[in-house]
Amino acid sequence: RRHSRLGNLSPADYENMHLTQNEVSA
């Protein structure tokens, strides 16, 4: 199920999500 969700997201989207999470952490 988790994999399916990731597959739905595009490489750019995935990176954007990661960056957003990083910002929130900071």
Mean pLDDT of the chain: 71
Provide the token pair at 25.
């952490």
- Asked whether the predicted pLDDT for residue 8 surpasses 80, the reply is no
Q: Which residues contact 17 (CB under 8 A, 6 or more apart)?
A: 9
Dihedral of the alpha carbons of 8, 3, 14, 19, in degrees to the nearest 10? 150
- Asked whether the predicted pLDDT for residue 1 surpasses 60, the reply is no
Using pLDDT thresholds of 50, 70 and 90, give the confidence band for residue 11.
confident
